[in-house]
Amino acid sequence: MTVDFETLRDQLADRSKALALLEDTTWIRPETVRRLACDAEIIPMVLGSKGEVLDFGRKSRTPPAGLRRAIWARDRHCAFPGCRRKARHCQIHHIRHWAHHGETEPDNLGLLCTSHHGLVHHSGWEIVMHDHLPWFIPPAWLDPTRTPRHNRPWTLEA
């Protein structure tokens, strides 16, 4: 279905106009658009003045297999300072949350075990990338200086 953002957002009052176009070139009314959009996975697409695709959004926050393997190779284990939980037991974490336009790319992803994933989300820890590795800034109640910490990957000998 193709519909402009303002139509979807503003839910236009004039329900007599057909404002959305289905793939088979059928026009549908705004109330049908809103009903379909309610449960849809909406993928934003920016079109130019001649209908050319200028930008195409994403539907999924889950990293593809190749990117997941790259994060596993970079971090090798839970990236939280002091944790050695193996990569296969960790989850990929978006440093800037996907819902807040965080990209699914290496410099916005890190490996976290379940325990540290929950800790990062609920206790005030912040994560920043430095030299393409995640660094963790503790909450002020734990460290008033908020000194960044890291968990460098193991060497091949370890």
Per-block mean pLDDT, blocks of 10 residues, the chain (158 long): 63 54 72 61 63 59 82 92 93 84 87 92 91 94 95 57
Alpha-carbon span 100 to 149, nearest angstrom: 25
Q: What is the pLDDT of residue 67?
A: 86
Q: What is the pLDDT of residue 157?
A: 43
Q: Where are the alpha helices (DSSP H) in 11-149?
A: 30-38, 65-75, 114-122
Q: What is the pLDDT of residue 34?
A: 60
Tell me the one-letter amino acid at 47.
Answer: L
